[in-house]
């Protein structure tokens, strides 16, 4: 299960950050302002909603994404298991 995002202090930049969906967002050096910005970011809806479809369509989209964003060996590993 994925961790819930929460603000954390980055000492080398002297400000708070939060990681949401793999993207780090700077929140600022003040704790109260960082908490406000964090809640603002968390209240926004995801930009790309998951498109409805059949299981086969979802798997096909996943494999297309994997081929573009992961190593060929990873793609082959998934393909072998899905083809079974």
- Residue 12, phi then psi, degrees to nearest 5: -65, -20
Lowest-confidence pick of 27-31, 49-53, 61-65, 77-81: 49-53
DSSP states along 46-66: PSSPPPP--HHHHHHHHHHHH
> Given phi > 0 = left and psi -120 to 50 = alpha, else beta, which region is 35?
alpha
What pLDDT is stored for residue 45 in this prediction? 64
pLDDT band at 52 (very low <50, low <70, confident <90, very high): confident
d(CA 62, CA 50): 12
Q: How far is CA 66 from the centre of its chain?
A: 15
What pLDDT is stored for residue 68 in this prediction? 94
Average pLDDT over residues 18-32: 92
In three-state secondary structure terms, 17 is strand
């Amino acid at each position: 299960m994925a961790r819930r995002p929460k603000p954390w202090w980055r000492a080398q930049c002297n400000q708070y950050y939060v990681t949401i969906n793999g993207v780090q967002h700077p929140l600022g050096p003040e704790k109260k302002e960082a908490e406000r910005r964090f809640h603002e970011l968390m209240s926004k809806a995801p930009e790309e909603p998951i498109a409805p479809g059949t299981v086969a369509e979802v798997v096909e989209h996943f494999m297309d994404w994997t081929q573009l964003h992961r190593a060929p060996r990873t793609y082959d590993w998934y393909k072998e298991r899905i083809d079974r």
